Structure 1
Amino acid sequence: MLKLDSISLVQFKNYQQTSFSFQQRIVGIAGKNGVGKTNLLDAIYYCCFTKSYFARSDSQNVLRGAAGFRIEAHFTLQGEPLKIVCILRENGKKEFLVNDEPYEKLAQHIGRLPCVIIAPDDIQIITGGSEDRRRFLDMLLSQLDATYLQQLIDYNRVLQQRNSFLKSIAEKRLTDTSLLDVYDRQLVYYGNYVFEKRRQFLAEFIPAVQRSYRHIAGVDEQLDIDYESQLLQQPLADLFFRFREKDILLQRTTTGIHKDDLDIRFQQQPFKQIASQGQRKSLLFALKLAEFEALKTAKGFAPLLLLDDVFEKLDEQRMHNLLGEVCVKNKGQLFISDTHAERINRHFSQLTDTFQVIGL
C-alpha cells in the first residue's frame, strides 16, 4: 500500500511554514476559498510528479516575496518508509531527493509514487482540444512505462528541432533539406514506440472507461470512444515523406503522434457538443477512475487519489456513486477538498466510520 503520513511546506504557494499529519486512509480538507486547500493537494502531487499540476513554472509555486520553497513528505510504500524532499533554490535550481539520494534525471521518479488527481479545470479533457486528451493519456502511460516517458521526451525534443529547421528553411531560403531525413528517422523510431503503446493500452482502457461511466451516470447510455491516429492508416515514415512539402510551406510538422486524439461520441454525435454538464462530469470521473484502476493493477497497490472541489460539480446521486467507488471499493489513500466541513462529514459518515477532516 502507498500512504502519505505527513508533509511539511516552507514558502510553498500561500504557506509560510506548515506541517500536516495524516492518520486515516480518507482525508478531507475543509476551508473557505483561498485558504490553500488546492495548494496542499498540489504539494502532494508535486511529491509524486516532481512538478505542479496547476503551475507551468516552478517560480509560480514560491510564496510571494520569497526566493524558493521546500517540500518534505514522508510516505509508507509497501511497508517501507520513503522520504521525499524537493527544494527550489534561489537561483532557480531544483533538487529532488528520495531517502536523501538525489535523482540524476527527474523523469526517473515518475511512476514510483502513482497518483491520480481530479480538479475543476480537468473538464478540458472532455471539452478542450486534442492536446488536453493527449496530456491526460501521456501522464497515465508515463506512470506505467518509464520507456514510454523517455521515448515521448525524445520525440518532442526532435520535433522541436525539426520545426526550428522548417522555419529556417523559409527564413534563410535553404535548398538543402537533407537534415529533415535525419530528423524523420529519429521521429519514426521514437514515435512508433509511443503509437504502439497507446494503441495497445487503449484497447483495454476504453472499455474500462465506458463501464465506469455507466456506473457513475447511473444509466446505460451509449458512449463511443475511438483512438484517432494517422498511423492507423499509414506508417509514420510514409506520412513524413507524403507531407514534407506541406510542412516546409507551413513551417511546422503537420503529421505524427503529436496529432493523436480520442474521438468521443454520444448517440453517434460529438460528445462535447450535446452532452449535459452532468454527463461531461461523469465522463471526466470515469476517465480518472479508469486511470486509477489501471495504475492499481499495474503497480499492485492503489495510487493516491486527490479530489479537488468535486462536491460542487455533481448532483447528489452522481456524487454518491462516485464516493461509493473511491471510498468503499478503493483501498488506497484519498484526499478530498471542500468548502464545507459538514458536507464532508455527512457524505463520509454514510460510507465509513474512519476518516479525518483537516480544517484550514
Structure 2
Amino acid sequence: MLRLQKISIIQFKNYLSASYNFSERVVGIHGNNGLGKTNLLDAIYYLCFTKSYFTKSESANVHHGMQGLRVEGNFVKHDQQEKVVCIVRENNKKEISRNGEDYKKFSNHIGQFPAVIIAPDDVELVIGNSDIRRKFLDTLLSQLDPNYLQWLIDYNKILQQRNSLLKSSAEKGYLDEGLLEILNDQLVQPGTIIYNKRKEFLSRFLPAVADAYQQIAGVSEPVRFTYYSPLHEDNFANLLNIFRQKDMLLQRTTLGIHKDDIEIEMHGKNFKNIASQGQRKSLLFALKLTEFLELKHAKGFAPLLLLDDVFEKLDADRMNNLLYRVCVENDGQVFITDTHRERLQLALQQLQVPFQLIGLE
C-alpha cells in the first residue's frame, strides 16, 4: 500500500507556503483556474520523480520573485512511514532526501514512490511526435527497473558525445576514426539493452492497451499498435557502420533507439489522422490505465494516480467508467482536480467510496 498523508510546499510555483493533509484514499481538489490545482498535483509528482511534470527548467518551478523551493511529503508505504524532501537552494543546488538520507544519485529515487499522471495536454501522447511516446515509455520502464534508467542515462550521454564529435569533425575537416570507434562500441551496449527491454515489454503492454481501449470506448474499434525501431533491421553495430557516411554528412547520429516509436493505426490508417476527439481521449486513458496496472502488478501495490482536469476532457459515460475503474476496482490513492465543486462531489458520491474534498481559494 502507498499513501501520501501530508504535503508541505514552500515557494513552489504559485505556492508561497501551504500544507495539506490527505485523510482519504480518494481526494478531490476543486477551485477556479489559476488557484494552483495543477501545481498541487505537480508538487506530488515532484516528490515521486524529483522533477516537475510540466516544467523543464528548475528555475520556473520557483515562486516568482523568490529564490529556492522546498517540497516535503509524508508517505506510508507497506505500513512504514516515509519522508521525502526535495529542496532547491538559493544557489540552484538541488537536494533530495528520503528519511533524512540524501541521495547521491537522484535516479535511485525513481520507482520508490510510483505515480501516474493524466493531464489535459497528454493527448499529445497519441497525436504528437515520437519523442513524447518514447518519454512515456522510458518513464514507465524506469519506474519498473532502476537499471533501465541508468542505461538510458549512459546512452544519452554517449549519444551527445558522438554527435559532438560528428559536428566538430565537419567543422575541422578531420575525423578521429579511433574515437568514433570507441564511441560506437560504448553506444552499442546500452542501446542494445534498451532495445531488448522495450521489445520484450511492449510485446505484452501494447495488447493490454488495445483491450483497455475497447473497454473505455465501449465499442469495437480495431486499434493496431506497432513498435518501430531501426534495430529491427540489423544489429546496432552494423547499422552504425552502414549509416556512417550519412551521420557525417548530417553531423548527428541518424539511427538508434532514440528514433524508436509506437505507431498507432485504426482501420489501416494513421490513428491521429482519422480519430475523433473522443477516440483520442479514450486511447490516452487506455495507455495511462495500462501503465497504472503494469506498475501495480510489478510493485505489488497501486501507484498514486493524479488526474488533472479530466472532467473537461471526457463525456459523462467515459468519465464514470474511468472513475469506477480507478477508484472502485483499484485500491490506490487517487487525486482528482476539477473547477466545479458540485460536479466533482456528485461524481465521487456516485462511486460510494469514502472521499475527501479540498477547496482552493
Query: So what's the TM-score if we normalise by structure 1?
Result: 0.99
Helix, strand or coil for the counterpart of 1:150? helix
Look up the match of 1:188. Answer: 188
Q: Is 1:332 the counterpart of 2:304 in the alignment?
A: no
Look up the match of 1:41. Answer: 41
Task: Report Cα offsets for 1:161-189 as digits up to 9, x if no partner.
Answer: 00000000110111432211111111110
Look up the match of 1:222. Answer: 222
Look up the match of 2:313. Answer: 313
Look up the match of 2:154. Answer: 154
Task: Report Cα offsets for 1:241-299 as digits up to 9, x if no partner.
Answer: 00000000000000100000001000110000000000000000000000000000000
Look up the match of 1:200. Answer: 200
Question: Matches of 1:148 and 1:10 in 2, distance apart?
Answer: 32
Alignment of 1:126-137 (within 5 A): 126-137=126-137
User: After the TM superposition, which of the residue ranges 171-180 and 124-133 deviates more from structure 2?
Assistant: 171-180
Helix, strand or coil for the counterpart of 1:53? coil
Look up the match of 2:17. Answer: 17
Post-superposition, which runs of at least 4 consecutive aligned residues in structure 1 deviate over 2 A? Answer: 175-178
Question: Matches of 2:226 and 2:177 in 1, distance apart?
Answer: 36
Query: So what's the TM-score if we normalise by structure 2?
Result: 0.99
* Structure 2 residue identity aligned to 1:88: V
C-alpha displacement at 1:191, in angstroms? 0.4
Helix, strand or coil for the counterpart of 1:122? helix
* Structure 1 residue identity aligned to 2:133: R
C-alpha displacement at 1:233, in angstroms? 1.5
Q: Structure 2 unaligned runs (5+)?
A: none
Question: Matches of 2:60 and 2:22 in 1, distance apart?
Answer: 26
C-alpha displacement at 1:71, in angstroms? 0.8
Helix, strand or coil for the counterpart of 2:226? strand
Alignment of 1:18-167 (within 5 A): 18-167=18-167
Helix, strand or coil for the counterpart of 1:48? helix
Question: Matches of 1:224 and 1:49 in 2, distance apart?
Answer: 31
Task: Report Cα offsets for 1:203-253 as digits up to 9, x if no partner.
Answer: 110111011101110111100001001111211111100000000000000
Question: Matches of 2:202 and 2:353 in 1, distance apart?
Answer: 37
Say if 1:175 and 1:75 are closer, same or farther in 2 by CA, change over 3 A.
Answer: closer
C-alpha displacement at 1:7, in angstroms? 0.3
* Structure 1 residue identity aligned to 2:24: Q
Question: Matches of 2:327 and 2:60 in 1, distance apart?
Answer: 33
C-alpha displacement at 1:323, in angstroms? 1.0
* Structure 1 residue identity aligned to 2:81: P
Look up the match of 1:266. Answer: 266
Task: Report Cα offsets for 1:87-141 as digits up to 9, x if no partner.
Answer: 1100000110100100010000000000000011111111111100000000000
Helix, strand or coil for the counterpart of 2:281? helix
Is the 2:327–2:351 Cα contact (8 Å) retained in structure 1? yes
Look up the match of 2:323. Answer: 323
Question: Matches of 1:338 and 1:3 in 2, distance apart?
Answer: 21
Say if 1:246 and 1:347 are closer, same or farther in 2 by CA, change over 3 A.
Answer: same
Q: Is 1:277 the counterpart of 2:286 in the alignment?
A: no
Look up the match of 2:239. Answer: 239
User: After the TM superposition, which of the residue ranges 162-171 and 349-358 deviates more from structure 2?
Assistant: 349-358
Question: Matches of 2:176 and 2:282 in 1, distance apart?
Answer: 52
Helix, strand or coil for the counterpart of 2:177? coil
Say if 1:175 and 1:8 are closer, same or farther in 2 by CA, change over 3 A.
Answer: closer
Question: Matches of 1:70 and 1:263 in 2, distance apart?
Answer: 40
Q: Structure 1 unaligned runs (5+)?
A: none
Task: Report Cα offsets for 1:296-324 as digits up to 9, x if no partner.
Answer: 00000000000000000011111111111
Aligned-pair Cα RMSD in Å: 0.7
Is the 2:328–2:353 Cα contact (8 Å) retained in structure 1? no
Helix, strand or coil for the counterpart of 1:350? helix
Say if 1:171 and 1:275 are closer, same or farther in 2 by CA, change over 3 A.
Answer: same
Helix, strand or coil for the counterpart of 2:112? coil
